[in-house]
Structures are given as C-alpha cells and as structure tokens.
Amino acid sequence: MWLHANFERFNALSARSERFRFALESGTDWRFAHDARAAIARIWAGIEALFGISAELVYRLSITAASLLRPRGSTRVDYASFVKRLYGVRSKAVHGDAIDEGKLFEALDQSFILLRDLLFLMAERGNDFSETDLQQAVLG
C-alpha cells in the first residue's frame, strides 16, 4: 500500500533531480557493497548529495539534517550531535582507521535511517533542498 501511494512522487523527483536519484540509489545499492566500510561510504555519499554542501561539511550536515528532521530545542541539539558522531564513524571507516566492528555496523544502520528519512522528506516536498530551504530550516 505504501509503495503504491508514494511511488509516483519518488519516480517524478528521480526524473527531475540528479541529486535525489543518486541518493536514492545510494539507499539501495549500499547493501551490495563488499564490506561495511564501503557500505557506509556509499550511504554518506547519498546524504551529502542531498544537501550539496562542500564547505564545513560535518558541522553543516549535522545542523541541517537535525533542523530538517527534528523540532527546535534539546531534541534537535541532541540529534545534531548524533549525526556528527555518525559522520565521525563514517570518516574512520572511509579513511581506514581502526574501528570497533559493533560501532561500525551500528553507525551503518543509523546512517541508512538518516538517509531514508531525508529521502522521504525530500520526496514529500517534491523538490531538491535549495540553499534557501536549508537556511530557513536552520535559522527560520
């Protein structure tokens, strides 16, 4: 039922938005990566694509994702810190640093949930997040 109700929205946005399509593909093909490090890298490539952020990446990603997905207040502050920690695990994984396997798999699961939630939000809105949308989410 959910698929039937939402397919057209996802399909239409995929046809119009390279960023959304890339992130959507990331949300599915990470499962076929040869290891968890490659999988988490693929998920985060999708998350980064949704925002188009290239400067102050960790800070802006965590603040923006929290602002879009959580209400103002301590919930948003806590979620921004959580996203920042997830990105830290992603960085260790991608750069080949030593990392506890349990932490890696937990971060992989939580990173996928973050990507999923952002994809749902973008599909619901029907368009890419513009710089104005991101500023409004954070500052508005």
51-69 per-position pLDDT tens digit? 887 767 888 899 999 999 9
Instruction: Phi first, then psi: give them for residue 95, nearest 5 degrees.
Output: -90, 5
Choose the weakest-confidence range: 23-27, 37-41, 58-62.
58-62
Above 90 in pLDDT, residue 92?
A: yes
pLDDT recorded at residue 134: 86
Sign of the torsion angle spanned by Cα atoms 113, 54, 135, 130: negative
List C-alpha distances in Å: 52 to 22, 23, 37. Answer: 12, 11, 22
Mean pLDDT of the chain: 92
Tokens of 84: 């920042």
Q: Are 127 and 13 in contact (CB under 8 A)?
A: yes
Quote the pLDDT of residue 5: 84
Q: Which amino acid is at 105?
A: F
Torsion of CA 12, 17, 18, 20, to 10 degrees: -80
Of 17, 47, 61, which Cα lies nearest the Cα of 116? 47
Report how far apart, in Å, the C-alpha atoms of 26 and of each of 70, 79, 136 are. Answer: 23, 22, 26
If one compares 53 and 73, the residue with the highest pLDDT of the two is 73
pLDDT at res. 31: 94
Burial of residue 7 (number of CB atoms within 10 Å: 0-12, 13-18, 19+): exposed
